Amino acid sequence: MAVDSPTERTLSLTPHLTGARELSDHLQVDPDVGLSSAEVEARLAEHGPNELRSKDAVPLWRRILAQFQDPLVYLLLVAIVVSITAWVLEGAQGVPVDAVVIAAIVTLNAILGFVQEAKAEDAVAALATMTAASSSVLRDGRPTALPSADLVPGDILLLSEGDAVGADARLLDATGLKVQEAALTGESAATVKSATALSGEVALADRVNMVHKGTAVVEGVGRAVVTTTGMQTEMGHIAALLDRTEQQPSPLQVEIARVSRTLGALVIGIAIVVMATLAFVQGADSPQEWVTILLLGVSLAVAAVPEGLPAILSVVLAIGVRAMARRNAVMKHLHSVETLGSASVICSDKTGTLTRNEMTLRTIVTASGRVELSGTGYAPVGDAVLVADDDGEDEALLTEARLVLIGGSIANNATIAEQDGQWVVHGDPTEAAFIVATHKLAEVPERIDHYERRAEAPFTSERKMMSVLAHHDDRAENRVYTKGAADVLLDRCVAERHGDEVVPLDDAARARFTATVEELSGEGFRTLGVAYRVADDGGADHDVEHDLILAGVVGIIDPPREEARAAVAAARRAGVRTIMITGDHPATAQRIAADLGIIAEGERAATGVELERLDDDALVDLVREVSVYARVAPHHKLRIVDALQRDGQVVAMTGDGVNDAPALKSADIGIAMGITGTEVTKEASRMILGDDNFATIVAAIHRGRIIFDNIGKFLRYMMSSNLGEVVTVFFGIVLAGVLGLRDTANPDALVVPLLATQILWINLVTDSVPALAMGVDPEIDDVMARPPRRPDRPILDRPMWARILFTGFLMGAVTLLTMDLFLPGGLLAGSESFDTARTAGFTTLVLAQLLNALSSRSATQSSFHRMFRNPWLWAAIGLVVVLQIVVVHVPVMQQAFTTVPLTGMQWLVCLAMASVVLWAQEIVKFAHRVWARHRPAPVVDAPTAQV
């Protein structure tokens, strides 16, 4: 008889109605050890990854077929049918060259599209791996962090504030645990959790002893045993009932699609006009001539629309975003880059982002004096220097200082450990500073060992403090130790420790303590107060934080990052304002902000209390003037973001705590800390900082602007080049008599400037490869010397359209003049055959488009500026030139594309004529630069003026 596996038997239980111990036994897991690695592998093989079922992978054959599901491809397929039909009607002699060539081009275009899409998908998959959620679990007796996808039934989850719950799990124990379950139950308020077993019918929202996949821990700590994973979770059941929603296109995608549709309709109209004009002006006396007209019209419509643009856009974004990820700025979605380049304000936390996050406790101030500690960083090495007050004694000061460190270290969840010669912090760096400091004052570690933690009231951003109930084994005494913001803690204190005595905390003592906090804050220290009281042998909750005895205050320094000041200056130069938001004392915030150049000396900081008094309109006025906010709560961040957005700003907001998630979601670019950030903030963000460094944000904005510039470059290039093809064909037909475009060997033959196959060839070789190379172009213009791009400004604005039209008409003109130069008659008399003239015009247009690629790298800078910075572009140009030589000189390609060989001198003539496009644009750019140097300074729009 088969024996059910532990996880199979668990499915027959109802976890929320089962005791925690019984459930653990059924799952065959020791809650104090967790699963072994071998057992995890077996269960992962049984249950599969802890993931919601995604859309089934599209089969390879369907992905290939999708490359042909495009209206423009349908036109080409019609052209193939028309060509074959004409070939059959004429006796099916030889090979239907036009049909074969068009089919080959369709196939090559499909291959290029497939490869580009595959590259983009690979890049997106790599980014998804970088931003995958993680969970803390107990395995093999050791806490470890791992991807949530690796969770299995029986895993012991270690839950703390800011964690995203990775799977459905039954609580084993919970301390002050609150979980936000709105995504699952619709309840807006966080649910208080308990490990107690339930009975009877219990609704999902009332299962307080369960935590579920997709919810978030907003407060407290706990342990839970995983009961179900993947599609068996409550979130999985919901996912099974819902169709997967399609991702909404970004504004840039919408704009590109709109432009493509407009161009498509316009060019199809032009193609019809061209065909009608050709039939009217030159006539069509045979089926072959009608086929030629039809093929020309179809090819012109296909060539004029940049149908490869969406794929190229995705590839360029993917390449750019992966480059940003290698520099510690991970964008979760490709198209967030367009918003990043428009950011006009960065709202940044102070600790760890603008500073090094190497918190060092440097000073302890008590009733009897001050203790200065040496040493920096997390190495527990340093000395203590006692500076007693005039009426104080060293022994009393030492007693008080020890009490401060004991209290701060017991009301503490951080640990430090030496790894490979480096001291590493696990937990909050500020709390770690207390642990390090205990080793610098004699007897403190030994005295801490006498305490046993019994309960905890975790830190919350609303209370700004945490408390722990601890039992002293020698004195048989319970104490509550509380650590928190110094000015907030003072309101909870009624007495003060003096040596071995406790004295009432009178007004003079309160004033002295407040002055000490102000003094330390003015010196750039972050201040934390420590207090205690004797307590009953009960639990620790928020209600115990009263009638406290003040032990003292500490000053913790977190030096500014050396690169942060330069980054703030670079942001200001780019028209991006930096706002610092911190929970620190206003004086500390002002000192750090002034050191970093965020504000000038003497500029004020606004506080959370001040924000509470302001209505929304008044807050909009305030955020225009004030760049430092201190003693703020998370909901103040959300109000600041909303006020800035109402003022027309594009806001990037950093955050690390669970309560920062609403502000990150509301911001245009929510930025989560990759090192100290919680899973909740990472899920709410659009960008994750791998190094928690403010300079990385500015570097990402810089990179985002370069990427957006490159998109503009290849748009300008592709659309002007395609327009050049339309102009060549249209005016070549309309002005054929003026330009002498006729076949002297066969005067009655239908004459077109370019054949359908030639147009398609130009479209194939010049649209894709150079455009992709331009997408990875290095910085040509100084993108950080201009204000942010306004979000409502289209990428194809009037100046760009003017350049596209100018270049397109110029390319068409030089192509037609080249043909005229080779042909007898017309404006420029020549002596070559029509086939030679058309081959020369064909070649001139290809070369003109390649030179246009060089010129399109900047709308204002010379093409010779940083000309050789992009080897990929030169490789693309070289490849296209080689392919064009093959088309002109290899016999089989000559037959396919109706070309004839050109002499070396004729190639030079083609190159000289094509270079007119480059030189003309150089003259326009030079005139623009001269005008820009002498024009009056522009009036800056309001959103940019607040820098």
Residues belonging to the active site: 349
Query: Token pair 């205990």 is at which residue?
Result: 438
Which of 173, 140, 159, 151 is closest to 226 using CA atoms? 151
d(CA 733, CA 729): 6
Burial 42-64, CB ≥16 within 10 A → b, else e: ebbeebeebebeeeeeeeeeeee
| C-alpha torsion sign, points 656, 659, 661, 666 | negative
d(CA 43, CA 54): 21
d(CA 478, CA 435): 21
188: number of Cβ within 10 Å: 8
Query: Token pair 């670079």 is at which residue?
Result: 570
d(CA 347, CA 670): 10
Query: Token pair 């480096």 is at which residue?
Result: 422
Burial 809-846, CB ≥16 within 10 A → b, else e: bbbbbbbbbbbbbbbeebeeebebbbebbbbbbbbbbb
DSSP-derived letter for residue 165 is: P
Helices (H) and strands (E) in the chain, counts: 34, 27
d(CA 680, CA 313): 31
Q: Which residue type is seen at 568?
A: V
Report whether 311 contacts 543 (CB < 8 A).
no
| Distant-in-sequence, close-in-space partners of 150: CB < 8 Å, separation ≥ 6 | 40, 44, 49, 50
Q: Give burial (CB, 10 Å; 0-12/13-18/19+) of 387.
A: middle
Partners of 689 in the beta sheet? Answer: 329, 673
d(CA 601, CA 624): 18
Report whether 146 contacts 125 (CB < 8 A).
no
647: number of Cβ within 10 Å: 18
